[in-house]
Amino acid sequence: MSEIEHYVAPASLDEAVDCLQQEGGVTILAGGTDLMPQKNAGRLKPQRTLMNIRGIAELKGVTLSGGEIRIGALTTVTELLENSLVRQHLPQLIEACDHFASDQIRNVATLGGNICNASPAGDTLVPLLVLDARVDLVSRSEGRIFRSSMPIGEFFVGPGKTRRTPVELLAGVSIPLTPENYLGRFFKFGTRPALDISTISIGFGGIKKDGILSKVRVAFGAVAATPVRAFRTEAALEGRSLDEATIAAAAATARDEVSPIDDVRASAWYRKELIHNMTKRILDHVADA
Ligand SMILES: Cc1cc2nc3c(=O)[nH]c(=O)nc-3n(C[C@H](O)[C@H](O)[C@H](O)COP(=O)(O)OP(=O)(O)OC[C@H]3O[C@@H](n4cnc5c(N)ncnc54)[C@H](O)[C@@H]3O)c2cc1C
């Protein structure tokens, strides 16, 4: 099916999960900043029904409860940048949003769209990985709204591909509240200083107490089919202080551990050099913080 026959705009989650059961399939529209260019370029064949989810209040907003920050799927990049909870607790997500597209795109692009588009270069994905985020999905089961969740690292299976089934909607993400002495950073490297897709991106998260790192998370974007955690690099940092030797060893481990892709934006060799240099740079910043 390549032509849209029906357009629906549910006002509630209940209506939306019902709509997802329709025959002929449903294409979900949030901000449209990925969907529309992909459709116009012929890279995406829409399903019979186009479902605009922008009117669903339950998918909006940022809340703190039970030690978790919950961000609704429809939260825009601009709203993330302006939110006090996100600014206070999720520094690497703020840095990613600060390097995201232009003001016009940020005003409509949603967090849920960035996640479900599943680009290896999606800028919010690396911060969400190092923040141990879980994706929250909703569907209709036995007449009720059925909720499930999974670690975001398990959600991505390839470029543009996730574990979301056609009858599920992404409701949002849940992120454990970051503890005291938590440090988070995100760097993105592109060929232009602004409005560019990442050639690579790196995220860091961890606790630095009395100079010693713990609960270290390091992840990279735009180096593989999905954003990836760098587990060996994390192990090279865990329980250590960030002296020159530790930083050099961790940067070398990252270069060995990640097997980047060759594509139009950079060769694998160049990406390996970037991985080394950006790991060193982000760790220098963490050491000075
Ligand atoms: C000029 C330009 C610059 C850009 N710059 C950047 C950039 O710097 N960094 C970056 O990461 N991206 C960038 N993008 C890509 C895009 O803006 C983001 O990925 C954005 O977050 C997508 O969100 P959206 O709300 O527009 O999603 P949509 O286009 O509406 O949807 C994207 C995909 O997700 C699905 N979807 C959306 N919401 C849900 C949901 N709740 N549940 C299930 N499925 C859902 C849709 O069906 C579709 O497949 C850019 C795009 C443009 C056009």
Q: Which residues line ligand 1 (CB under 6 A)?
A: 27-35, 37, 53, 73, 100-101, 105, 108-110, 112-114, 116-117, 122-123, 169-170
Q: Which residues of the chain have pLDDT under 70?
A: 1-2, 192-194
pLDDT of residue 198: 78
Task: Give the residue whose CA is nearest to atom 2 of ligand 1.
Answer: 101
User: 173 and 152 in contact (C-beta within 8 Å)?
Assistant: yes
Q: Please report, for residues 37, 106, 144, 147, 190, the alpha-carbon distance to residue 99 in angstroms, rounded to integers and kept in the order given.
A: 20, 10, 40, 32, 10
Task: Give the residue whose CA is nearest to atom 38 of ligand 1.
Answer: 113
Angle (deg, nearest 10), helices 244-257 and 268-288: 150
Degrees to nearest 5, angle at CA 73 with 70 and 77: 95
Instruction: Tell how far the Cα of 18 is from the centroid of ligand 1, in angstroms.
Output: 23
Degrees to nearest 5, angle at CA 221 with 42 and 181: 140
Q: Which residues are registered as beta bridge partners of 138?
A: 147, 169
pLDDT of residue 192: 66
pLDDT of residue 260: 87
HEC sequence for the chain: CCCCCEEECCCCHHHHHHHCCCCCCEEEECCCCCHHHHHHCCCCCCCCEEEECCCCHHHCCEEEECCEEEEECCCEHHHHHHCHHHHHHCHHHHHHHHCCCCHHHHCCCEHHHHHHHCCCCCCCHHHHHHCCCEEEEEEEECCEEEEEEEEHHHHEEECCEECCCCCCEEEEEEEECCCCCEEEEEEEECCCCCCCCCCEEEEEEEEEECCEEEEEEEEEECCCCCCEECHHHHHHHCCCECCHHHHHHHHHHHHHHCCCCCCCCCCHHHHHHHHHHHHHHHHHHHHHC
pLDDT of residue 222: 92
Dig out the tokens for 86 from the structure.
């996100």
In this predicted model, what pLDDT tens digit does every residue of 216-245 receive, in sequence order? 999 999 999 999 999 999 999 999 999 999
pLDDT of residue 215: 98
Mutation pick for ligand 1 pocket among 8, 27, 28, 59 (CB with most ligand atoms within 8 Å): 28
Instruction: Tell how far the Cα of 111 is from the centroid of ligand 1, in angstroms.
Output: 8
Pairing of strands 156-158, 49-52: unpaired
Degrees to nearest 5, angle at CA 36 with 30 and 42: 140
Which residues are within 8 A (CB) of 141 and not within 5 positions of it... i.e. 6 or more apart? none
**Number of Cβ atoms within 10 Å of the Cβ of 125:** 27
pTM attached to this predicted model = 0.96
